[in-house]
Amino acid sequence: MLSRVAESLFWMSRYFERAENTARFLDVNFNLLLDLNKITPIENPNYWIALILVTSDRDRFAELYSEYTAHTVTDYLVFNKNNPNSITSCIGLARENARSIIESISSEMWEQVNNLYHYLQSVTPQFVHNDPSGFYKEIKNASHLFQGITDNTFSHNEGWDFIQIAKYLERTDNIARLIDVKYHMLLSEAQNQPEVVEGSEDLIQWMAVLKSCSALEAFRKVYLSKIDPDNILRFLILDRTFPRSINFSVCAAEDALWRISGSSRHRYVNNADRLIGKIEAELSYTAIEDIFSKGLHNYLEELEQRLVKVGEQVHLTYFAYHTPEIESPDVDEALPFTGIGGGRANWSQAQQHQQQQ
Amino acid sequence: MSRFFERYEAETSRFFDEVMATEGQARPHYDKLLERFRQFSFDDIKARREIINIFFRNQGITFTVYGVEEGIERIFPFDLIPRVVPASEWQKIEKGLIQRITALNEFLYDIYHTQKILKDKIIPTELILGSQHFAREFVGVNPPLGIYIHVTGSDIIRDKDGNYLVLEDNLRTPSGVSYMLQNRQAMKRAFPVVFEKYQVRPIENYPQELLRTLQEISPASRREPNVVVLTPGIYNSAYFEHSFLARQMGVELTEGKDLVVNNNKVYTRTTRGLERVDVIYRRVDDAFLDPLVFRPDSKLGVAGLINAYRKGNVALANAIGTGVADDKVIYSFVPAIIKYYLGEDPILENVPTWLASNPTDLKYILENLGSLVVKAANESGGYGMLVGPESTIEQQEKFAEMIVANPRNYIAQPTISLSRHPSFFNDNELVGCHIDLRPYVLNGKTVTIVPGGLTRVALKRGSLVVNSSQGGGSKDTWVVDE
C-alpha cells in the first residue's frame, strides 16, 4: 500500500473519531447541567472551561472569546474553523483525507464522510442550541455508521488496520484526557468533602464521565450499584472488554499494529510495536492502586505522552518511508506528522491548478 | 409532440438543431426518445433530477472552478435529455478520428526524428521549433511502439449544415472521460425506461480498454506491468477523474511525492518499501513532470523521471512534447499533415482558420475582430479567448494589442454557430443550447474509440462556450444502431 494512502486512511479515521469524542463531551455536559439545574446556574463557566481543558487549547480559546458560556464553547468546539479540533474542522479534514484516497476506500465510506460534511455545512448554531442532544446524537451515529460501513465494505487488510490504529490511539488519548480533567476538577472542588455521597453532585458528575464514554450501563453490569470513583476509574482504564476503556483501546491498537508487521508477543519488529506492546503489557499487570500510588494525573499524563510516541513511530515506520541512499531528506517530511490539512495541504495547491484540456 | 417540446423553439432557420429537422418535425432517430419524454410530467422530471443530483453529489462528482472564492466545488451540470447519434454518422466520425490520430502520431514521430515534413516545407520550421510545447530534449528518443499520443479527446462540432468538423485536437492530458461514464450511469439510474426502445452501444468498457492500452506500452516484458495514474493532487479540477480512472482500472493513484527514481528506475513508496513502476498514465503537464529537466520549482513531479523515461525504463502516456501537435496554429496544418503522411483527404474537415503570424491573415483578423473567434494558441479550457460577436469594443482593442505584440500566439476562426440541442432550464422549459462532442481515442497496438463521448452543453443562454470552467454542462451521448 502506498505510504501516502496509509497515512490518509490513518488521519481520516483519527479525525472522525476526534469529532465523535468532541460531540460526546458536549452532549454529556449539556445533560449534566440539566441534571444539576437546581444546584448550579446553567451558565456556570466551570463546566464549560472543563471542555476546553479536555481539548487542551485554552490559550487559543481565550484569543477568540472573552467568556466561557454554552454559546461560546459550543461555537468553538462545533463550528470554529480556526479551531483545528472543532467538529466541523475534523470532519472537513477527515473528508479531505478521504477525498485524496477516494479510489482506495469503498464508495460507501466516501458517501458517509461526504454526507456528514454536507450535513454540517447546513447546520446553524441556532439549530444546535435548540436541540443539542439531537445534534450530537447525529454526529455520534454518523461516526458509528462510518465505522460499521468500514467494517462491512472495506477489506480487512493493511488499510483497515491503519484505520483501527488511528481510531484506538485517538480514543485512548481522549479517554485519558477526559478522566484527567474531571478528576482534577472534582478533586479541587471536593477538598472539604473527601467522601463521595450517594446522590451528591460529585456522583452525578462521575456518572457523566461514564455516560460520555457510553459506559454507564456497561459499568453497572459489572459493579452493580457501587458507583464510586475507584470503580469508575478501574472500569475506564483497566477493563479489557469495554470498547471505550483505555485497556481495550490499547489492545485493539496493538493488535492492528502487530497484524501489519507480523510482530508477536515474544518478538517485535519495529519501535511502534515495541512501544504499544510495552503499554499494553503494563496495563495488563496494573492495579488501580498502582495508579493511585503514582498519582492519577501523573499516570495519565505519562500515558498521553507515550501514545504520542507511538504515533510518531507509526509515522516513521510506515508513512515517511524512504531509503537514505536514494534521496536527501525532504523538507516536507521533516515536518511533524499531521496528515492532510494539518500543515502541508496547501503547499502545492497553486501548481495543482493546471488548465484542463 | 411532448408538452415540453410543444413550446420548444428550435429556430431551425438560424441553427442546426440536433433533434428537430424543422419546427414541429423531429429527426427520425429521436422519435422514440420524444415519445418517452412525452409521458413525463414536470413532476416526473423534477423527481428524476433529484435522483441524479444525489447520485452526483454522493459520488463526489464535482468540478473545481479556479479563481472563485465561494463554492470551489460544484456539481458538474447535467442535462437530462440524451444526445442521439445514429450509427451511420458515428461510423464517419470514428473513421475520421482514426485517420487523424494516425497521421498526428506519424507527424510527432517525424518531428522528433528526421523532421522530413519541415525539410519538405509543408510546415514552416519556425512554427515547430518556436512552439513552447516542442520538447527539444526528446529529439531522437523512441517511445514504446513509436506511440506519442495514447489518449486523445478531440473536440468535434457541427456547423449550420450539420457537417461534423474538428475544432481542436487535445493531445496532452484531455479530461472529461469520467463524466462520459458517469453520465451514462446517471441516465440508467434515473431513466431506465428510456433505454428500452434503443440499442445504445455500451461505453462501460473504457477503463479496461485504457488499461489494456497502457499495459501494451510497458517497456518491461518481465511480468504483469505495474501501471499507475499520476495526478497533480486533490486541488486539481480534474482530481475526481484521476481517482475515478485509477479505481476503475484497479491501479494505484499516485502523486509526485509517492514516486521516487533510483538508478533510472521508477518506484512507488509503500508501507513495505519500494515497488517498481512500468507505466505512468500521467495527468500532470510536461512542465511539472520533473524538476530536474523542466520547471525547477515543481512540487508535483518526480526528480529523475525524465532520465528514467529516456533510458526506456518507464513509459509515459501521453509521451512528452505532444503539445506541439495540438497547438492551435499547427491545427490549421492538420489536413496537410494527413495528406502528407497518409496520402488521403481528411474524412473530418477542419474549421477554417486564420493565422495571425501570416501577414495577410493578420490584416483580415484585425479588420474582423467583431465577427471572429480569436484564440490564444497555447491556452485551453476556454481561457484566453475572444468571442467577437459577444465582445465589447474595449475587449476587442485589448486583443488587437495582444495579437500584434505576439502574432505567433493567436489564431482566428469564423464564429461557427454550433449545432443546438434542446436542454432543460429549471426543469420546466426547453431551450436550444449549443453543444459539441468529445470522443476519446485510445491508441496502443490498435486504435480504439468507445462509441460516443462527452457531449458538452453551453448552459448559459445563448453562450457558445461549452467548457466546464466557463459554466458548461454535459449530457449523455448515445450511439444507436438503426
Instruction: Spell out which residues of chain B touch residue A269, defining contact as CB-CB under 8 Å.
Output: none
Q: Compare all CA atoms of chain B with the CA of A341 and give the residue at the minimum distance.
A: B234
Contact A322 B260 (CB under 8 A): yes
> Looking at the domain assignment, is residue B317 inside a domain?
yes
Phi, psi values for residue B359, rounded to 5°: -55, -40
Residues B307 and B407 in one domain: no
Contact A102 B240 (CB under 8 A): yes
Residues B237 and B128 in one domain: yes
Residues B278-292 have a mean pLDDT of 94
Contact A352 B170 (CB under 8 A): no
Contact B458, B416 (CB under 8 A): no
Residues B341 and B385 in one domain: no
Contact B258 A4 (CB under 8 A): yes
> Looking at the domain assignment, is residue B255 inside a domain?
yes
Q: Which tens digits make up the pLDDT trace of A208-256?
A: 888 888 888 899 888 876 778 889 999 999 999 999 999 999 999 999 9
The shortest C-alpha distance from A144 to chain B (Å) reads 19
Spatial distance between the Cα atoms of B369 and B379, rounded to a whole number of angstroms: 19
Map residue B267 onto helix, strand or coil. strand
The shortest C-alpha distance from B270 to chain A (Å) reads 4
**Beta pairing partners, A130:** none
**Is pLDDT of A269 > 90?**
no
Contact B403, B374 (CB under 8 A): yes
Q: Could you tell me the strand order of the sheet in which B259-262 lies?
A: B259-262, B265-270, B273-276
DSSP conformational letter for B417: -
Phi, psi values for residue B165, rounded to 5°: -125, 145
Highest mean pLDDT among A319-328, B69-78, B428-437: B428-437
**Beta pairing partners, B458:** B472
Please report the beta strands in B271-346, taking only residues with DSSP state E, as ranges in sequence order: 273-276, 279-282, 315-317
Contact B235 A99 (CB under 8 A): no
Contact A4 B235 (CB under 8 A): no
> Looking at the domain assignment, is residue B402 inside a domain?
yes
Instruction: Spell out which residues of chain A touch residue B60, defining contact as CB-CB under 8 Å.
Output: 99, 102, 110, 114
Instruction: Spell out which residues of chain B touch residue A2, defining contact as CB-CB under 8 Å.
Output: 252, 254, 258, 268-271
Contact B329, B340 (CB under 8 A): no
Residues B274 and B379 in one domain: no
Spatial distance between the Cα atoms of B236 and B229, rounded to a whole number of angstroms: 14
H/E stretch holding B432 reads strand B429-438
> Looking at the domain assignment, is residue B408 inside a domain?
yes
What is the structure's pLDDT at A326? 42
Instruction: Spell out which residues of chain B touch residue A328, defining contact as CB-CB under 8 Å.
Output: none
Q: Compare all CA atoms of chain A with the CA of B257 and give the residue at the minimum distance.
A: A4
Cα A143 to the chain's mean position, in Å?
12
Q: Of B365, B383, B414, which one is at a domain's C-terminal end?
A: B414
Contact B321, B165 (CB under 8 A): no
Q: Which tens digits make up the pLDDT trace of B238-271?
A: 888 999 999 999 999 999 999 999 999 999 999 9
- Give me the residue label for grid cell 486533490: B234
C-alpha grid cell for residue A244? Answer: 471505550
For chain A, what is the HEC assignment? CEHHHHHHHHHHHHHHHHHHHHHHHHHHHHHHHHHCCCCCCCCCHHHHHHHHHHCCCHHHHHHHCCCCCHHHHHHHHHHCCCCCCCHHHHHHHHHHHHHHCCCCCCHHHHHHHHHHHHHHHHCCHHHHHHCHHHHHHHHHHHHHHHHHHHHHHCCCCHHHHHHHHHHHHHHHHHHHHHHHHHHHHHHHHCCCCCCCCCCCHHHHHHHHHHHHCCCHHHHHHHHCCCCCHHHHHHHHHHCCCCCCCHHHHHHHHHHHHHHHHCCECCECCCHHHHHHHHHHHHHHCCCHHHHHHHCHHHHHHHHHHHHHHHHHHHHHHHHCCCCCCCCCCCHHHHCCCCCCCCCCCCCCHHHHCCCCC
- Taking CB atoms within 8 Å and a gap of at least 24, the contacts of B296-300 are B298/A351, B298/B256, B299/A347, B299/A348, B299/A351, B299/B256, B300/A348, B300/A351, B300/A352, B300/B232, B300/B233, B300/B255, B300/B256
Residues B275 and B392 in one domain: no
Q: Could you tell me how many CB contacts below 8 A there are between chain A and chain B?
A: 117
ipTM of the complex in this document: 0.76
Contact A17, A167 (CB under 8 A): yes
**Is pLDDT of B354 > 90?**
yes
> Looking at the domain assignment, is residue B344 inside a domain?
yes
Residues B367-376 have a mean pLDDT of 91
Q: What proportion of chain A, given as a percentage, has pLDDT over 90?
A: 53
Mark B93-114 as b/e (b = at least 16 C-beta within 10 Å). bbebbbbbbbbbbbbbbbbbee
- Give me the residue label for grid cell 469495554: A242
Q: Of A198-202, A256-260, B229-233, which gets the smallest average pLDDT?
A: A198-202
> Whose CA is closest to B76, among B478, B465, B456?
B456
Map residue B238 onto helix, strand or coil. coil
From B236, B269, B271, residue closest to A352, measured CB to CB: B236
Q: Which tens digits make up the pLDDT trace of A180-201?
A: 877 777 665 554 444 554 556 7
What is the structure's pLDDT at A228? 82
Contact A218, A248 (CB under 8 A): no
Residues A319-343 have a mean pLDDT of 43
The shortest C-alpha distance from B32 to chain A (Å) reads 35
Spatial distance between the Cα atoms of A85 and A23, rounded to a whole number of angstroms: 11
Residues B318-346 have a mean pLDDT of 94
Q: Of B53-57, B132-136, B385-389, which gets the smallest average pLDDT?
A: B53-57
Map residue B147 onto helix, strand or coil. coil
From A321, A332, A351, residue closest to B232, measured CB to CB: A351
Instruction: Spell out which residues of chain A touch residue B240, defining contact as CB-CB under 8 Å.
Output: 102
> Looking at the domain assignment, is residue B169 inside a domain?
no
Q: Which tens digits make up the pLDDT trace of B143-189?
A: 999 999 999 999 999 999 999 999 999 999 999 999 999 999 999 99
DSSP conformational letter for B76: P
Spatial distance between the Cα atoms of B237 and B234, rounded to a whole number of angstroms: 8
Instruction: Spell out which residues of chain B touch residue A103, defining contact as CB-CB under 8 Å.
Output: 243-244, 246-247, 253
The shortest C-alpha distance from B169 to chain A (Å) reads 9
**Is pLDDT of A338 > 50?**
no
Contact B235 A2 (CB under 8 A): no
Greater confidence (B124 vs A267) lies with B124
Contact B162, B313 (CB under 8 A): no
H/E stretch holding B156 reads strand B155-158
The shortest C-alpha distance from A4 to chain B (Å) reads 7
**Is pLDDT of A335 > 50?**
no
Contact A102 B270 (CB under 8 A): no
Q: How many CB atoms lie within 10 A of CB A198?
A: 8
What range defines the domain where residue B395 resides?
Answer: 354-414
From B240, B262, B381, residue closest to A326, measured CB to CB: B262
- Give me the residue label for grid cell 460516443: B452
Contact B38, B3 (CB under 8 A): yes
Q: Nearest-5° angle of CA A97, CA A102, CA A107?
A: 120
Spatial distance between the Cα atoms of A147 and A141, rounded to a whole number of angstroms: 10
Residues B331 and B389 in one domain: no
Residues B272 and B362 in one domain: no
Number of domains forming the structure of chain B: 2
Residues B107 and B148 in one domain: yes
Contact B236 A114 (CB under 8 A): no
**Beta pairing partners, B168:** B155
What is the structure's pLDDT at A293? 92
> Looking at the domain assignment, is residue B463 inside a domain?
no
The shortest C-alpha distance from B199 to chain A (Å) reads 30
> Looking at the domain assignment, is residue B196 inside a domain?
no
Spatial distance between the Cα atoms of B231 and A103, rounded to a whole number of angstroms: 12
Q: Compare all CA atoms of chain A with the CA of B303 and give the residue at the minimum distance.
A: A327
Phi, psi values for residue B181, rounded to 5°: -70, -40
Q: Of B319, B349, B379, which one is at a domain's C-terminal end?
A: B349
Mark A66-105 as b/e (b = at least 16 C-beta within 10 Å). eebebebbbbbbbbbeebbbbbbbbbbbbbbbbbbbbbbb
Q: Of B296, B327, B349, which one is at a domain's C-terminal end?
A: B349
Q: Where are the domains of chain A?
A: 1-154, 174-189+198-320
What is the structure's pLDDT at A50? 81
Residues B292 and B362 in one domain: no
Residues B95 and B216 in one domain: yes
pTM of the predicted structure, to 2 decimals: 0.83
From A318, A351, A357, residue closest to B173, measured CB to CB: A357
Spatial distance between the Cα atoms of A280 and A286, rounded to a whole number of angstroms: 10
**Is the bond preceding residue B318 a cis peptide, omega within 30 degrees?**
yes
User: pLDDT band for position A323 (50/70/90)?
Assistant: very low
Residues B227 and B309 in one domain: yes
> Whose CA is closest to B326, among B132, B98, B125?
B132
Spatial distance between the Cα atoms of B103 and B132, rounded to a whole number of angstroms: 21
From B58, B238, B326, residue closest to A356, measured CB to CB: B238
Half-sphere exposure of B421 (CA within 13 A, CB side): 28
Residues B334 and B246 in one domain: yes
Contact A357 B174 (CB under 8 A): yes
What is the structure's pLDDT at B299? 86
Spatial distance between the Cα atoms of A346 and B337, rounded to a whole number of angstroms: 44
From B271, B285, B298, residue closest to A3, measured CB to CB: B271
Spatial distance between the Cα atoms of A152 and A145, rounded to a whole number of angstroms: 10
Phi, psi values for residue B155, rounded to 5°: -95, 125
Handedness of CA A325, A3, A304, A282 (dihedral sign): negative
The shortest C-alpha distance from A7 to chain B (Å) reads 9
From A322, A348, A353, residue closest to B269, measured CB to CB: A322
